[in-house]
Structure 1
Amino acid sequence: MTVNGAAVDTDYGPVQVQVSVRGKKIISATAIAYPQSSGRDMAINSYAIPMLQQDTVAKQSAQVDTVSGATYTSDGYRQSLQSALDAAHQAGAL
């Protein structure tokens, strides 16, 4: 089952996470929207997004660590991720 979390507005733009769940486990988390309007946004998120996605699968929860230098993206990611996990839980996938 794949579920999209809510888009969360940050100071630099929206962040939205999509989660895939199989067998009551998070098998992937993908940021389908994140700030990339400036070169700085793209540089920060080029390392922050993969770290957040890996941390999600490793921890199997929305309790992912904030990536240094990407606080707004990390906060938005966590909120969107939690909404996706809530939806997956309501659907019985988690």
Structure 2
Amino acid sequence: MQVSVTIVNGAITEVTPLQLTNRGGRSVAISNQAAPILRSEVLAAQSASVQNVSGATYTTQGYLRSLQSALDTAGF
């Protein structure tokens, strides 16, 4: 799981998944469903502190861990 974050004028303006789960058909389907929800939640919260997507705990954890790393790197 790897995401990229775009920050403009001190605000998160975009979160782009660079790599989602690619193991097993069900995991891929869950990741593809959860990613847009997580993006929306992150943009609204302006942080990685958002709720888990129901039924996508592992995807959520990986997504948010990668996001937090990107935010830390950006000094956000």
Matching of residues 39-78 of structure 1 within 5 Å: 39-78=25-64
What TM-score, normalized by structure 2, do the two folds share? 0.91
C-alpha displacement at 1:31, in angstroms?
Answer: 1.4
C-alpha displacement at 1:82, in angstroms?
Answer: 0.6
C-alpha displacement at 1:21, in angstroms?
Answer: 0.6
| Contact 2:20/2:32 (8 A) holds in 1 | no
What TM-score, normalized by structure 1, do the two folds share? 0.75
Where structure 2 has 5 or more consecutive residues not aligned to the other structure, the ranges are: none
% same residue: 45
Query: Tell me, what secondary structure is at the counterpart of 2:29?
Result: helix
Which protein has the larger Cα radius of gyration, Structure 1 or Structure 2?
A: 1
Please report the RMSD computed on the Cα atoms of aligned residues, expressed in angstroms.
1.1
Distance (whole Å) between structure 2 residues aligned to residue 44 and residue 74 of structure 1: 10
2:19 is the counterpart of 1:33: yes
Normalized per residue, the structure richer in strand is: 1
**Structure 1 residue ranges, 4+ long, deviating more than 6 angstroms after superposition:** none
C-alpha displacement at 1:38, in angstroms?
Answer: 2.1
C-alpha displacement at 1:37, in angstroms?
Answer: 2.7
C-alpha displacement at 1:47, in angstroms?
Answer: 1.4
Distance (whole Å) between structure 1 residues aligned to residue 18 and residue 50 of structure 2: 17
Query: Tell me, what secondary structure is at the counterpart of 1:21?
Result: strand
Query: Tell me, what secondary structure is at the counterpart of 1:80?
Result: helix
C-alpha displacement at 1:43, in angstroms?
Answer: 1.7
